[in-house]
Structure 1
């Protein structure tokens, strides 16, 4: 079986969960499945090894406005040629906001992965998704969602048959990085990863940490990714009395992040909604206790390996953080449960389940397989 991946996410992402997901699908495909990624230009870090492509970088590390558009143009031309050759069994686009390839596919089946329904559920913060997702979902041979929670949202919000929507969890690989990649950090800290905007619920964490700081004055809050603190965030930090103990670390490599997880007192994920929650598995893999909001897919992914709090209740978050900081035995239990839970998520399993979806899509196709 041959799968053709459209490379849009590798044009627009230098690093990120979506491009990482598609890279792992290709990297773990195995000999029974042939994968083609017609990428010509990309600065994506997961493709740097060029194991599966012969692409070129385009001014990597240089901030040039609109650079991604040049990569998009070159990669889309290559994708058009690959589709027109028709030498594939199943097509899998890497983004869900474009339909340009539909007329080129003919009767070839395609599969889409829906990672979350955030724009539809949080339209007060995001532009509502255009008609492209609905068009793709209605015409796709199969739809993959990354959690049961996301599947339920898809079935509630999109007109698709339930038997066409399959849950395939992400995988995780515990990797070890040289200590030289560790970033300078305080000895005692909580860790927050990623964007802090809107539904990420960062304000709740600020309030809880402000209460916690009274009891643990040497504790710090490290925020990796998400850009510098905004003026509004700085005002929140000052009001909570923790402006001097909250630090924004900017972009970090995977190795630096893994060392931060390993040394953190706890990883805190207060988000109101996630499609899956990659950082949960990363924290489990690095023996880091995890505290999560009791929302969306989090209980599904972490199960009993985390502590939970009501997502808008800063007092309850403060209590759970106090528990994990004070109770060494509890931390050890959470670490052990996290190690057990992360074993349920492997890229080999993800790929095997995805290949079964591809087979279903191919069997439904009226075309003879290549």
Structure 2
């Protein structure tokens, strides 16, 4: 028996939860005998139903994961447990764990003190106690190996992909003119730099639309003030997937200004919807986007502004990036990632 720790079904969707959900759905198609186990405070009920997820225990969050989940597993002959969303029961040995990145080490101001201290305690112990570690890019693999002195043979890259809902439009774009950015608004996402660059543009026709969540533990007052200072900067907060598809399809450009990404799913989503991508030239992004994006130095606001301006005025460049984007997304699929995962665990069952 293979068991998936499906606690991600109890959490709002960011990239980590998206990975858990989409990879689990692909795994379910390829191996119907996989068992998905979750606390009872599920918020993604439709996904839980598709996975036939089993709810166990009375606790939730980390307490459920560290106490009730391993108890359930030990009562069921200690099967192989696969963890897809950064955390895992530390003292359960027959497990594989997925660590997406080490942003809490690289950009501590993006996280609360309590969160950082907990992850500093938890993650190295998960790495050392797991039979294998999955991660989402060669960039993250190298970072994990370096920080935790872990042999590369223990780590394997199981990448993200764009979900099937993100597709190009069959109709013409709307007349709205905006540049789109999608992410949680934390320090390493560099929205402050993006806004500074946007304010440098001579163009007065386009708006900057920011989609994502602001957690008051994470967001700085500087960022909030900058959003409020320019009426052409709009903050939409979280939106549904269907609304996000429309936003990608109708944007003049998608921009991803991050200082740090373990993978970065939004550029692939934008490309799948036919939107040209401008993004940072550091971390995992060149690995993920290849030659299909227009790159800038995220620490140089003049460079960011220049690349935005280049794309807005050069329709040939825009169309070229759209075509390259369609080709780039073919390199990634949840089905192929699921297949790779199942092959990787074959000898560990």
TM category (shorter chain) comes to 0.7 to 0.9
Among 287, 295, 315, the residue aligned to 2:282: 295
In structure 2, the CA distance between the partners of 1:159 and 1:76, relative to structure 1 (3 Å rule), is closer
Q: 1:316 to 1:71 in 2, by over 3 A?
A: closer
TM-score if structure 2 supplies the norm length? 0.86
The 1:176/1:95 distance shift into structure 2, 3 A limit, reads: closer
User: Which of 194, 200, 211 lines up with 2:189 in the alignment?
Assistant: 200
Give 1:250 deviation, angstroms: 1.5
**1:360/1:69 Cα in 2 relative to 1: closer, same or farther (>3 Å)?**
same
* Structure 2 counterpart of 1:38: 37
Q: CA deviation at 1:218?
A: 1.7
What RMSD, in angstroms, separates the aligned Cα atoms of the two structures? 2.8
Equivalent runs, 1:201-240 vs 2, <5 Å: 201-212=190-201, 214=202, 216-227=203-214, 231-237=221-227
Question: For the Cα contact (< 8 Å) 1:283–1:289, is it kept in 2?
Answer: yes
User: 1:24, CA displacement in angstroms?
Assistant: 2.1
Q: CA deviation at 1:28?
A: 1.4
- Range with bigger deviation, 80-89 or 286-295: 80-89
The question of whether the paired residues in 1 share the 8 Å contact of 2:133 and 2:154 is answered with: yes
Task: Tell me by how many angstroms 1:243 deviates.
Answer: 1.1
Q: Conserved in 1, the CA contact under 8 Å of 2:7 and 2:37?
A: no
Distance 2:175 2:290 in 1: 30
Q: 1:168-214, CA deviations, whole angstroms, 9 ceiling, x for partnerless residues?
A: 2112233268x9xxxxx9800000112222111111111111111x2
The structure-2 alpha-carbon separation of the partners of 1:77 and 1:50, relative to structure 1 and needing over 3 Å to count, comes to farther
Question: Structure 2: 5+ residue runs without aligned partners?
Answer: none
**Structure 2 vs 1, CA of residues 20 and 326 (structure 1 numbering), >3 Å: closer, same or farther?**
same
CA-to-partner distance for each residue in 1:64-96, whole Å, 9 max, x for gaps? xxxx96576667776345302335642113444
Give the Cα–Cα distance (whole angstroms) in 2 for the partners of residues 202 and 350 of structure 1: 30
Q: 1:199 to 1:14 in 2, by over 3 A?
A: closer
Determine the structure 1 residue equivalent to 2:243: 256
Q: 1:120 aligns with which of 83, 105, 109?
A: 105
Q: Deviations over 1:229-268 (max 9, x none)?
A: 8642353356xxx611011112200110111001001111
The offset of 1:294, in angstroms, is 0.7
Which among 160, 178, 189 is matched to residue 170 of structure 1?
Answer: 160
Matched, 1:326 2:324: no
CA distance in 1, matches of 2:13, 2:316: 36
- How far apart are the structure 1 equivalents of 2:61 and 2:141? 32
Shift of residue 9, structure 1, vs aligned partner: 2.7
Match of 2:348 in 1: 361
Matched residue, 1:284: 271
Query: What's the counterpart of residue 347 of structure 1?
Result: 334
Q: Which residue does the alignment assign to 1:110? A: 95
Structure 1: state its 5+ residue gaps. 57-67, 180-184, 363-370
**Shift of residue 53 of structure 1?**
2.7
Q: Note closer, same or farther for the CA distance 1:237–1:51 as it changes in structure 2 (3 Å cut).
A: closer
SS in 2 for 1:151: helix
SS in 2 for 1:38: strand
Contact 2:109–2:187 under 8 Å retained in 1: no
Q: Which residue does 2:129 correspond to in 1?
A: 139
Larger gyration radius, structure 1 or structure 2: 1
Greater CA deviation, 143-152 or 121-130? 121-130
Determine the C-alpha separation between the residues in 1 that align with 2:240 and 2:195: 25
Q: Which residue of 2 aligns with 1:92?
A: 82
Residues in 2 aligned to 1:277 and 1:46: alpha-carbon distance in whole angstroms? 26
Give SS of 2:38's match: coil
